[in-house]
Structure 1
Protein backbone atom coordinates (compact mmCIF):
# COMPACT_ATOMS: atom_id res chain seq x y z
CA UNK A 1 0.00 0.00 0.00
CA UNK A 2 2.85 2.39 0.87
CA UNK A 3 4.72 1.79 -2.40
CA UNK A 4 1.58 2.25 -4.53
CA UNK A 5 0.57 5.35 -2.59
CA UNK A 6 4.08 6.79 -2.82
CA UNK A 7 4.20 6.29 -6.60
CA UNK A 8 0.81 7.99 -7.02
CA UNK A 9 1.91 10.79 -4.68
CA UNK A 10 5.18 11.31 -6.56
CA UNK A 11 3.27 11.46 -9.87
CA UNK A 12 1.11 14.25 -8.40
CA UNK A 13 4.25 15.95 -7.06
CA UNK A 14 5.83 15.84 -10.53
CA UNK A 15 2.80 17.67 -11.96
CA UNK A 16 2.91 20.52 -9.42
CA UNK A 17 6.64 20.84 -8.74
CA UNK A 18 7.35 23.45 -11.46
CA UNK A 19 4.60 25.95 -10.50
CA UNK A 20 5.39 25.47 -6.79
CA UNK A 21 9.12 25.98 -7.43
CA UNK A 22 8.46 29.17 -9.41
CA UNK A 23 6.15 30.52 -6.69
CA UNK A 24 8.72 29.77 -3.95
CA UNK A 25 11.51 31.47 -5.94
CA UNK A 26 9.44 34.57 -6.69
CA UNK A 27 8.38 34.91 -3.06
CA UNK A 28 11.69 34.13 -1.32
CA UNK A 29 14.62 33.01 -3.50
CA UNK A 30 16.55 29.99 -2.28
CA UNK A 31 16.16 26.25 -2.18
CA UNK A 32 12.81 24.87 -3.34
CA UNK A 33 13.09 21.94 -0.95
CA UNK A 34 13.65 21.84 2.78
CA UNK A 35 15.10 18.85 4.59
CA UNK A 36 15.56 18.15 8.25
CA UNK A 37 16.71 15.18 10.31
CA UNK A 38 13.76 13.45 11.95
CA UNK A 39 13.46 10.24 13.93
CA UNK A 40 11.65 7.26 12.48
CA UNK A 41 10.98 3.68 13.57
CA UNK A 42 12.81 2.92 16.85
CA UNK A 43 14.35 6.42 16.74
CA UNK A 44 16.36 5.79 13.55
CA UNK A 45 17.29 9.17 12.04
CA UNK A 46 16.34 10.03 8.45
CA UNK A 47 16.07 13.16 6.28
CA UNK A 48 12.51 14.33 5.76
CA UNK A 49 11.74 16.35 2.61
CA UNK A 50 9.22 19.14 2.13
CA UNK A 51 8.67 22.09 -0.15
CA UNK A 52 10.25 25.07 1.65
CA UNK A 53 7.58 27.18 3.34
CA UNK A 54 9.82 29.44 5.44
CA UNK A 55 12.51 32.01 4.73
CA UNK A 56 15.90 30.55 3.90
CA UNK A 57 17.53 31.07 7.33
CA UNK A 58 14.48 30.10 9.39
CA UNK A 59 16.22 27.57 11.67
CA UNK A 60 18.80 30.14 12.80
CA UNK A 61 15.94 32.51 13.74
CA UNK A 62 13.81 30.03 15.70
CA UNK A 63 15.02 31.52 19.00
CA UNK A 64 13.35 34.82 18.02
CA UNK A 65 9.90 33.21 17.77
CA UNK A 66 7.76 32.44 20.83
CA UNK A 67 6.89 28.77 21.21
CA UNK A 68 3.13 28.56 21.81
CA UNK A 69 3.13 24.79 22.27
CA UNK A 70 3.30 22.84 25.50
CA UNK A 71 5.89 20.09 25.79
CA UNK A 72 8.44 18.68 23.35
CA UNK A 73 7.23 20.41 20.18
CA UNK A 74 7.64 23.88 18.67
CA UNK A 75 4.63 25.70 17.24
CA UNK A 76 3.80 29.33 16.63
CA UNK A 77 0.45 30.24 15.09
CA UNK A 78 1.66 33.40 13.36
CA UNK A 79 5.31 32.44 12.80
CA UNK A 80 6.85 35.43 10.94
CA UNK A 81 9.37 33.10 9.24
CA UNK A 82 6.64 31.54 7.07
CA UNK A 83 6.53 33.11 3.60
CA UNK A 84 3.33 34.12 1.79
CA UNK A 85 3.64 31.13 -0.55
CA UNK A 86 4.56 29.00 2.47
CA UNK A 87 1.27 29.87 4.17
CA UNK A 88 -0.61 28.64 1.11
CA UNK A 89 1.51 25.48 0.87
CA UNK A 90 0.87 24.67 4.53
CA UNK A 91 -2.85 25.47 4.42
CA UNK A 92 -3.26 23.09 1.47
CA UNK A 93 -0.65 20.56 2.74
CA UNK A 94 1.17 20.86 -0.60
CA UNK A 95 4.41 21.42 1.32
CA UNK A 96 4.28 17.76 2.38
CA UNK A 97 4.16 16.22 -1.10
CA UNK A 98 7.93 15.52 -1.26
CA UNK A 99 7.46 13.18 1.73
CA UNK A 100 6.16 10.58 -0.73
CA UNK A 101 9.87 10.13 -1.55
CA UNK A 102 10.47 9.30 2.15
CA UNK A 103 7.68 6.72 1.92
CA UNK A 104 9.16 5.16 -1.23
CA UNK A 105 12.57 4.96 0.51
CA UNK A 106 10.96 3.15 3.46
CA UNK A 107 11.67 5.81 6.10
CA UNK A 108 8.02 6.76 6.40
CA UNK A 109 4.60 5.28 5.79
CA UNK A 110 1.50 6.85 4.29
CA UNK A 111 -0.12 6.65 7.73
CA UNK A 112 1.69 6.63 11.05
CA UNK A 113 2.82 8.81 13.90
CA UNK A 114 4.02 12.41 13.68
CA UNK A 115 7.77 12.36 12.76
CA UNK A 116 9.64 14.03 15.66
CA UNK A 117 12.83 16.07 15.49
CA UNK A 118 16.05 14.88 17.12
CA UNK A 119 15.76 17.64 19.76
CA UNK A 120 12.28 16.41 20.69
CA UNK A 121 13.41 12.78 20.98
CA UNK A 122 16.37 13.77 23.18
CA UNK A 123 13.81 14.88 25.80
CA UNK A 124 11.61 11.77 25.61
CA UNK A 125 10.48 9.70 28.56
CA UNK A 126 9.86 5.94 28.24
CA UNK A 127 6.17 6.62 27.45
CA UNK A 128 7.12 8.98 24.62
CA UNK A 129 9.48 6.40 23.10
CA UNK A 130 6.52 4.05 22.60
CA UNK A 131 5.29 6.30 19.79
CA UNK A 132 8.41 5.36 17.80
CA UNK A 133 7.37 1.69 17.59
CA UNK A 134 5.79 2.36 14.18
CA UNK A 135 7.03 4.28 11.17
CA UNK A 136 6.12 7.95 11.08
CA UNK A 137 3.47 8.84 8.52
CA UNK A 138 2.59 11.62 6.13
CA UNK A 139 -0.76 11.54 7.87
CA UNK A 140 -2.19 10.06 11.03
CA UNK A 141 -4.38 10.78 14.01
CA UNK A 142 -2.76 14.21 14.56
CA UNK A 143 -3.34 15.23 10.93
CA UNK A 144 -6.99 14.20 10.83
CA UNK A 145 -7.94 15.40 14.30
CA UNK A 146 -6.66 18.94 14.50
CA UNK A 147 -3.55 19.42 12.36
CA UNK A 148 -1.86 22.67 13.41
CA UNK A 149 -4.37 23.41 16.16
CA UNK A 150 -2.92 20.69 18.41
CA UNK A 151 -0.39 22.46 20.61
CA UNK A 152 0.07 20.06 23.51
CA UNK A 153 2.75 17.42 22.99
CA UNK A 154 1.05 14.99 25.38
CA UNK A 155 -2.10 15.14 23.20
CA UNK A 156 -0.01 14.19 20.15
CA UNK A 157 1.62 11.32 22.07
CA UNK A 158 -1.80 10.04 23.15
CA UNK A 159 -3.08 10.19 19.55
CA UNK A 160 -0.01 8.31 18.31
CA UNK A 161 -0.38 5.59 20.93
CA UNK A 162 -4.10 5.37 20.20
CA UNK A 163 -3.26 4.91 16.50
CA UNK A 164 -0.98 1.99 17.37
CA UNK A 165 -3.76 0.34 19.39
CA UNK A 166 -6.26 0.72 16.52
CA UNK A 167 -3.91 -0.12 13.65
CA UNK A 168 -5.17 -2.15 10.71
CA UNK A 169 -5.05 -1.74 6.94
CA UNK A 170 -8.72 -0.77 7.05
CA UNK A 171 -8.04 1.90 9.68
CA UNK A 172 -5.13 3.28 7.61
CA UNK A 173 -7.45 3.55 4.60
CA UNK A 174 -10.03 5.30 6.79
CA UNK A 175 -7.42 7.85 7.94
CA UNK A 176 -6.23 8.43 4.36
CA UNK A 177 -9.81 9.14 3.26
CA UNK A 178 -10.35 11.42 6.28
CA UNK A 179 -7.08 13.26 5.50
CA UNK A 180 -8.28 14.08 1.99
CA UNK A 181 -11.49 15.52 3.44
CA UNK A 182 -9.64 17.54 6.11
CA UNK A 183 -7.15 18.95 3.58
CA UNK A 184 -9.86 19.89 1.06
CA UNK A 185 -11.89 21.63 3.77
CA UNK A 186 -8.70 23.15 5.25
CA UNK A 187 -9.71 22.13 8.79
CA UNK A 188 -7.05 22.89 11.37
CA UNK A 189 -4.64 24.39 8.83
CA UNK A 190 -2.51 27.35 9.77
Structure 2
Protein backbone atom coordinates (compact mmCIF):
# COMPACT_ATOMS: atom_id res chain seq x y z
CA UNK A 1 0.00 0.00 0.00
CA UNK A 2 1.54 3.38 -1.00
CA UNK A 3 2.06 5.91 1.76
CA UNK A 4 -0.73 8.49 1.89
CA UNK A 5 -0.17 11.67 3.84
CA UNK A 6 -3.36 12.44 5.74
CA UNK A 7 -2.29 15.67 7.35
CA UNK A 8 -4.13 16.56 10.52
CA UNK A 9 -4.19 20.04 11.99
CA UNK A 10 -6.27 21.46 14.80
CA UNK A 11 -8.66 24.37 14.44
CA UNK A 12 -9.20 25.38 18.05
CA UNK A 13 -10.00 21.91 19.48
CA UNK A 14 -11.35 20.30 16.31
CA UNK A 15 -9.01 18.07 14.27
CA UNK A 16 -9.10 18.66 10.51
CA UNK A 17 -8.07 15.86 8.14
CA UNK A 18 -6.76 16.77 4.71
CA UNK A 19 -8.25 14.35 2.17
CA UNK A 20 -5.88 13.35 -0.68
CA UNK A 21 -6.36 14.36 -4.35
CA UNK A 22 -7.62 10.87 -5.19
CA UNK A 23 -9.76 8.78 -2.88
CA UNK A 24 -9.89 5.28 -4.38
CA UNK A 25 -9.49 1.90 -2.71
CA UNK A 26 -5.89 2.15 -1.42
CA UNK A 27 -6.29 5.68 -0.13
CA UNK A 28 -9.75 4.86 1.24
CA UNK A 29 -8.45 2.06 3.48
CA UNK A 30 -5.81 4.38 4.98
CA UNK A 31 -8.42 7.15 5.23
CA UNK A 32 -10.68 4.97 7.36
CA UNK A 33 -7.77 3.84 9.57
CA UNK A 34 -6.60 7.42 10.22
CA UNK A 35 -10.12 8.54 11.04
CA UNK A 36 -10.64 5.68 13.50
CA UNK A 37 -7.42 6.62 15.29
CA UNK A 38 -8.75 10.13 15.82
CA UNK A 39 -11.96 8.68 17.23
CA UNK A 40 -10.00 6.63 19.76
CA UNK A 41 -8.16 9.57 21.30
CA UNK A 42 -8.71 10.98 24.74
CA UNK A 43 -10.48 13.24 25.22
CA UNK A 44 -12.74 12.66 22.24
CA UNK A 45 -13.19 15.69 19.98
CA UNK A 46 -16.72 17.02 19.67
CA UNK A 47 -16.18 17.62 15.97
CA UNK A 48 -13.94 16.27 13.20
CA UNK A 49 -13.51 18.19 9.94
CA UNK A 50 -12.55 16.58 6.63
CA UNK A 51 -11.11 19.07 4.15
CA UNK A 52 -11.83 18.07 0.54
CA UNK A 53 -10.24 21.15 -1.06
CA UNK A 54 -7.64 18.99 -2.87
CA UNK A 55 -9.83 16.02 -3.76
CA UNK A 56 -10.87 15.81 -7.42
CA UNK A 57 -11.66 12.07 -7.69
CA UNK A 58 -13.61 9.71 -5.44
CA UNK A 59 -14.85 6.28 -6.44
CA UNK A 60 -17.13 3.84 -4.63
CA UNK A 61 -14.38 2.74 -2.21
CA UNK A 62 -13.79 6.35 -1.19
CA UNK A 63 -17.53 6.73 -0.71
CA UNK A 64 -17.54 3.56 1.40
CA UNK A 65 -14.77 4.91 3.63
CA UNK A 66 -16.67 8.17 4.07
CA UNK A 67 -19.87 6.33 5.04
CA UNK A 68 -17.91 4.14 7.46
CA UNK A 69 -16.34 7.22 9.04
CA UNK A 70 -19.76 8.78 9.49
CA UNK A 71 -20.98 5.68 11.31
CA UNK A 72 -17.91 5.69 13.56
CA UNK A 73 -18.41 9.37 14.37
CA UNK A 74 -22.09 8.88 15.18
CA UNK A 75 -21.28 5.96 17.49
CA UNK A 76 -18.82 8.15 19.38
CA UNK A 77 -21.12 11.18 19.48
CA UNK A 78 -18.79 13.20 17.25
CA UNK A 79 -20.04 15.61 14.61
CA UNK A 80 -18.50 14.98 11.19
CA UNK A 81 -18.16 18.02 8.93
CA UNK A 82 -17.12 18.02 5.27
CA UNK A 83 -15.44 21.24 4.23
CA UNK A 84 -14.52 22.76 0.85
CA UNK A 85 -16.10 19.93 -1.14
CA UNK A 86 -15.17 20.21 -4.82
CA UNK A 87 -17.77 19.64 -7.56
CA UNK A 88 -16.28 16.23 -8.47
CA UNK A 89 -16.88 14.93 -4.93
CA UNK A 90 -20.21 16.74 -4.60
CA UNK A 91 -21.39 14.92 -7.74
CA UNK A 92 -20.79 11.57 -6.01
CA UNK A 93 -22.55 12.67 -2.83
CA UNK A 94 -25.51 14.04 -4.82
CA UNK A 95 -25.77 10.83 -6.86
CA UNK A 96 -26.36 8.80 -3.71
CA UNK A 97 -28.30 11.43 -1.75
CA UNK A 98 -25.53 11.67 0.85
CA UNK A 99 -25.28 15.42 0.29
CA UNK A 100 -28.43 15.56 2.43
CA UNK A 101 -26.90 13.37 5.14
CA UNK A 102 -23.50 14.97 5.71
CA UNK A 103 -22.90 18.39 7.21
CA UNK A 104 -21.17 20.30 4.39
CA UNK A 105 -19.51 23.68 4.86
CA UNK A 106 -18.00 26.08 2.33
CA UNK A 107 -15.14 28.11 3.78
CA UNK A 108 -12.61 28.84 1.05
CA UNK A 109 -13.16 30.20 -2.45
CA UNK A 110 -11.90 26.98 -4.08
CA UNK A 111 -15.41 25.73 -4.68
CA UNK A 112 -17.81 28.68 -4.24
CA UNK A 113 -21.49 27.86 -3.65
CA UNK A 114 -22.43 29.68 -6.87
CA UNK A 115 -20.87 26.93 -9.02
CA UNK A 116 -23.97 24.99 -10.04
CA UNK A 117 -23.44 24.37 -13.75
CA UNK A 118 -24.41 20.84 -14.78
CA UNK A 119 -21.03 20.13 -16.38
CA UNK A 120 -19.28 20.82 -13.09
CA UNK A 121 -21.17 18.03 -11.37
CA UNK A 122 -20.61 15.05 -13.66
CA UNK A 123 -19.94 11.84 -11.66
CA UNK A 124 -16.46 10.32 -12.01
CA UNK A 125 -15.47 7.66 -14.54
CA UNK A 126 -14.87 4.82 -12.08
CA UNK A 127 -14.55 2.16 -14.80
CA UNK A 128 -14.31 2.28 -18.63
CA UNK A 129 -17.60 0.39 -18.98
CA UNK A 130 -19.51 3.21 -17.28
CA UNK A 131 -18.93 5.68 -20.13
CA UNK A 132 -18.91 3.22 -23.04
CA UNK A 133 -21.60 4.43 -25.46
CA UNK A 134 -21.40 1.18 -27.43
CA UNK A 135 -22.09 -0.86 -24.28
CA UNK A 136 -25.11 1.36 -23.67
CA UNK A 137 -26.34 0.79 -27.24
CA UNK A 138 -26.03 -2.97 -26.74
CA UNK A 139 -27.95 -2.63 -23.46
CA UNK A 140 -30.79 -0.71 -25.13
CA UNK A 141 -31.10 -3.14 -28.05
CA UNK A 142 -30.90 -6.14 -25.71
CA UNK A 143 -33.45 -4.62 -23.33
CA UNK A 144 -35.94 -4.00 -26.15
CA UNK A 145 -35.59 -7.58 -27.37
CA UNK A 146 -35.87 -8.84 -23.79
CA UNK A 147 -39.01 -6.79 -23.14
CA UNK A 148 -40.57 -8.20 -26.30
CA UNK A 149 -39.89 -11.73 -25.02
CA UNK A 150 -41.29 -10.70 -21.63
CA UNK A 151 -44.47 -9.43 -23.26
CA UNK A 152 -44.95 -12.75 -25.08
CA UNK A 153 -44.52 -14.74 -21.86
CA UNK A 154 -46.34 -12.31 -19.58
CA UNK A 155 -49.86 -13.79 -19.71
CA UNK A 156 -48.97 -17.44 -18.93
CA UNK A 157 -46.50 -16.36 -16.21
CA UNK A 158 -48.98 -13.91 -14.66
CA UNK A 159 -51.79 -16.50 -14.65
CA UNK A 160 -49.52 -19.13 -13.07
CA UNK A 161 -48.39 -16.72 -10.35
CA UNK A 162 -51.97 -15.68 -9.52
CA UNK A 163 -53.32 -19.23 -9.44
CA UNK A 164 -50.50 -20.47 -7.24
CA UNK A 165 -50.31 -17.56 -4.79
CA UNK A 166 -52.72 -14.62 -4.53
CA UNK A 167 -50.94 -11.28 -4.64
CA UNK A 168 -49.09 -8.98 -7.06
CA UNK A 169 -47.47 -10.34 -10.22
CA UNK A 170 -44.35 -8.23 -9.89
CA UNK A 171 -41.97 -7.87 -6.97
CA UNK A 172 -39.92 -4.70 -6.59
CA UNK A 173 -36.92 -4.56 -4.29
CA UNK A 174 -34.55 -1.69 -3.55
CA UNK A 175 -31.02 -2.48 -4.73
CA UNK A 176 -27.78 -0.51 -4.90
CA UNK A 177 -26.46 0.31 -8.34
CA UNK A 178 -23.45 2.16 -9.65
CA UNK A 179 -21.67 4.07 -6.84
CA UNK A 180 -24.34 2.84 -4.43
CA UNK A 181 -27.22 4.76 -6.02
CA UNK A 182 -30.45 3.06 -5.02
CA UNK A 183 -33.09 1.91 -7.48
CA UNK A 184 -36.06 -0.44 -7.52
CA UNK A 185 -35.25 -3.71 -9.28
CA UNK A 186 -38.18 -5.64 -10.71
CA UNK A 187 -38.86 -9.38 -10.87
CA UNK A 188 -41.81 -11.67 -11.41
CA UNK A 189 -42.90 -12.57 -7.88
CA UNK A 190 -41.56 -15.98 -6.86
CA UNK A 191 -42.27 -15.80 -3.10
CA UNK A 192 -45.26 -15.40 -0.83
CA UNK A 193 -46.52 -11.84 -0.40
CA UNK A 194 -45.02 -11.40 3.10
CA UNK A 195 -41.62 -12.82 2.20
CA UNK A 196 -39.65 -9.80 3.44
CA UNK A 197 -41.29 -9.97 6.87
CA UNK A 198 -40.49 -13.69 7.13
CA UNK A 199 -36.84 -13.36 6.11
CA UNK A 200 -35.61 -13.37 9.72
CA UNK A 201 -37.22 -16.79 10.28
CA UNK A 202 -35.21 -18.44 7.48
CA UNK A 203 -31.65 -19.69 8.06
CA UNK A 204 -28.93 -18.13 5.93
CA UNK A 205 -26.70 -20.77 4.30
CA UNK A 206 -24.13 -18.32 2.90
CA UNK A 207 -21.32 -16.67 4.85
CA UNK A 208 -21.04 -12.89 4.79
CA UNK A 209 -23.65 -10.27 3.82
CA UNK A 210 -25.41 -12.42 1.19
CA UNK A 211 -28.58 -14.36 1.94
CA UNK A 212 -29.40 -17.78 0.51
CA UNK A 213 -31.36 -20.87 1.51
CA UNK A 214 -31.79 -23.78 -0.90
CA UNK A 215 -35.06 -24.81 0.73
CA UNK A 216 -36.43 -21.34 1.41
CA UNK A 217 -40.06 -22.00 2.46
CA UNK A 218 -41.11 -18.57 1.22
CA UNK A 219 -40.66 -19.61 -2.42
CA UNK A 220 -43.86 -20.77 -4.10
CA UNK A 221 -44.16 -23.81 -6.36
CA UNK A 222 -44.42 -21.62 -9.46
CA UNK A 223 -41.66 -19.45 -8.05
CA UNK A 224 -39.23 -22.36 -8.01
CA UNK A 225 -39.90 -22.96 -11.69
CA UNK A 226 -39.44 -19.26 -12.48
CA UNK A 227 -36.13 -19.17 -10.62
CA UNK A 228 -34.87 -22.42 -12.13
CA UNK A 229 -35.52 -21.06 -15.63
CA UNK A 230 -34.52 -17.46 -14.68
CA UNK A 231 -37.91 -16.28 -16.00
CA UNK A 232 -38.38 -14.36 -12.76
CA UNK A 233 -35.65 -11.94 -13.88
CA UNK A 234 -37.22 -10.97 -17.20
CA UNK A 235 -38.71 -7.68 -15.84
CA UNK A 236 -35.16 -6.49 -15.16
CA UNK A 237 -34.91 -5.66 -18.87
CA UNK A 238 -36.94 -2.58 -17.87
CA UNK A 239 -34.18 -1.61 -15.40
CA UNK A 240 -31.62 -2.07 -18.18
CA UNK A 241 -33.61 0.13 -20.57
CA UNK A 242 -33.78 2.87 -17.92
CA UNK A 243 -30.01 2.70 -17.45
CA UNK A 244 -30.15 1.51 -13.83
CA UNK A 245 -28.65 -1.83 -14.80
CA UNK A 246 -26.70 -3.32 -17.68
CA UNK A 247 -27.10 -6.62 -19.48
CA UNK A 248 -23.71 -7.64 -18.04
CA UNK A 249 -22.15 -6.42 -14.81
CA UNK A 250 -21.86 -7.26 -11.14
CA UNK A 251 -24.60 -8.62 -8.91
CA UNK A 252 -26.85 -5.78 -7.58
CA UNK A 253 -26.68 -5.87 -3.76
CA UNK A 254 -29.38 -4.86 -1.31
CA UNK A 255 -28.80 -1.89 1.02
CA UNK A 256 -28.54 -4.37 3.94
CA UNK A 257 -25.58 -6.04 2.25
CA UNK A 258 -23.82 -2.76 1.50
CA UNK A 259 -24.24 -1.74 5.15
CA UNK A 260 -21.96 -4.69 6.07
CA UNK A 261 -19.28 -4.01 3.45
CA UNK A 262 -15.69 -3.30 4.36
CA UNK A 263 -14.06 -0.52 2.34
CA UNK A 264 -12.40 -2.75 -0.34
CA UNK A 265 -15.71 -4.52 -1.02
CA UNK A 266 -17.25 -1.27 -2.23
CA UNK A 267 -15.15 -1.70 -5.41
CA UNK A 268 -17.86 -3.94 -6.84
CA UNK A 269 -20.05 -0.81 -7.12
CA UNK A 270 -17.61 0.84 -9.57
CA UNK A 271 -19.58 -0.67 -12.46
CA UNK A 272 -23.28 -0.90 -13.20
CA UNK A 273 -25.00 -4.02 -11.85
CA UNK A 274 -25.93 -6.55 -14.49
CA UNK A 275 -28.66 -9.05 -15.23
CA UNK A 276 -25.83 -11.51 -15.76
CA UNK A 277 -22.12 -11.65 -15.06
CA UNK A 278 -19.33 -13.86 -13.79
CA UNK A 279 -21.33 -14.87 -10.71
CA UNK A 280 -24.35 -15.99 -12.72
CA UNK A 281 -22.40 -18.13 -15.21
CA UNK A 282 -20.11 -19.65 -12.57
CA UNK A 283 -22.75 -21.69 -10.76
CA UNK A 284 -24.47 -19.07 -8.60
CA UNK A 285 -26.57 -21.65 -6.79
CA UNK A 286 -23.43 -23.46 -5.65
CA UNK A 287 -21.46 -20.38 -4.50
CA UNK A 288 -21.53 -20.19 -0.71
CA UNK A 289 -18.91 -17.56 0.04
CA UNK A 290 -19.18 -13.79 -0.22
CA UNK A 291 -15.44 -13.69 -0.90
CA UNK A 292 -16.04 -15.77 -4.04
CA UNK A 293 -18.70 -13.30 -5.21
CA UNK A 294 -16.28 -10.40 -4.69
CA UNK A 295 -13.53 -12.29 -6.53
CA UNK A 296 -15.82 -12.90 -9.52
CA UNK A 297 -17.02 -9.30 -9.58
CA UNK A 298 -13.47 -7.94 -9.55
CA UNK A 299 -12.51 -10.46 -12.23
CA UNK A 300 -15.23 -8.98 -14.43
CA UNK A 301 -13.98 -5.45 -13.84
CA UNK A 302 -10.40 -6.42 -14.61
CA UNK A 303 -11.19 -8.32 -17.82
CA UNK A 304 -14.00 -6.13 -19.12
CA UNK A 305 -14.33 -5.46 -22.83
CA UNK A 306 -17.28 -5.47 -25.21
CA UNK A 307 -16.20 -8.89 -26.49
CA UNK A 308 -16.03 -10.12 -22.88
CA UNK A 309 -19.61 -8.91 -22.35
CA UNK A 310 -20.76 -10.77 -25.46
CA UNK A 311 -18.99 -13.90 -24.26
CA UNK A 312 -20.79 -13.74 -20.91
CA UNK A 313 -24.15 -13.16 -22.63
CA UNK A 314 -23.64 -16.28 -24.76
CA UNK A 315 -22.58 -18.26 -21.67
CA UNK A 316 -25.72 -17.08 -19.88
CA UNK A 317 -27.96 -18.31 -22.69
CA UNK A 318 -26.30 -21.73 -22.46
CA UNK A 319 -26.50 -21.81 -18.65
CA UNK A 320 -30.21 -20.89 -18.61
CA UNK A 321 -31.02 -24.07 -20.52
CA UNK A 322 -29.00 -26.29 -18.19
CA UNK A 323 -30.78 -28.06 -15.34
CA UNK A 324 -30.43 -26.38 -11.94
CA UNK A 325 -28.55 -23.43 -13.41
CA UNK A 326 -30.86 -20.76 -12.06
CA UNK A 327 -31.50 -19.52 -8.56
CA UNK A 328 -33.51 -21.80 -6.28
1:185 partner SS: coil
DSSP 3-state at the match of 1:147: coil
Q: Distance in 2 between matches of 1:161 and 1:127?
A: 11
TM-score for both structures, normalised by structure 2: 0.57
User: Counterpart in 1 of 2:192?
Assistant: 55
Q: Distance in 1 between matches of 2:166 and 2:300?
A: 39
**Deviations along 1:42-66, whole A, 9 cap, x unmatched?**
0000000000000000000011110
In 2: Cα distance, 1:115 partner to 1:109 partner: 10
Secondary structure of the structure 2 residue equivalent to 1:49: strand
Structure 1: distance between partners of 2:152 and 2:313: 21
Shift, 1:22, TM fit: 0.2
193, 214, 230: which one aligns with 1:77: 214
SS in 2 for 1:148: coil
Deviation at 1:122, TM superposition (A): 0.8
Is the aligned partner of 1:14 residue 2:155? no
The Cα of 1:9 is off from its aligned counterpart by 0.3
2:315 and 2:156 map into 1 onto residues whose CA distance is: 27
2:296 pairs with 1:145: no
Secondary structure (helix, strand or coil) at the match of 1:48 reads strand
Q: Is the 8 A contact 1:146 1:187 kept in 2?
A: no
Task: Tell me by how many angstroms 1:67 deviates.
Answer: 0.3
Question: Which residue, 207, 225, 232 being the options, matches 1:88?
Answer: 225
- For residues 119 and 97 of structure 1, what CA distance do their matches in structure 2 show? 24
| Matches of 1:119 and 1:12, distance apart in 2 | 32
Q: Does 1:131 align with 2:264?
A: no
Question: Is 2:252 aligned against 1:115?
Answer: yes
Alignment: residue pair count: 190
Q: 1:36 aligns to what SS in structure 2?
A: strand
Deviation at 1:126, TM superposition (A): 1.3
Q: Unpaired runs of 5+ in structure 2? A: 1-137
* C-alpha separation in 2, matches of 1:113 and 1:155: 13
Cα distance in 1 for partners of 2:211, 2:288 equals 8
**Where does residue 104 of structure 1 map in the other structure?**
241
Structure 2 residue aligned with 1:184 = 321
Higher helix share: 1
Which is higher, the Rg of structure 1 or of structure 2?
A: 2
Q: SS of 1:100's equivalent?
A: helix
**Cα offset, 1:188, TM superposition:** 3.4
With a CA cutoff of 8 Å and minimum separation of 6, indicate the structure with the bigger relative contact order: 1
Structure 1 gaps, min length 5: none
User: What is the SS of the residue equivalent to 1:74?
Assistant: coil
Alignment partner of 1:76: what SS?
Answer: coil
SS at match of 1:66: coil
In the alignment, which residue of structure 2 is the partner of 1:44?
Answer: 181
The CA deviation at 1:187 is 4.5
Q: Does 2:305 correspond to 1:168?
A: yes
Q: Is the 8 A contact 1:68 1:75 kept in 2?
A: yes
Using the alignment, how far apart are the partners of 1:186 and 1:7 within structure 2?
27
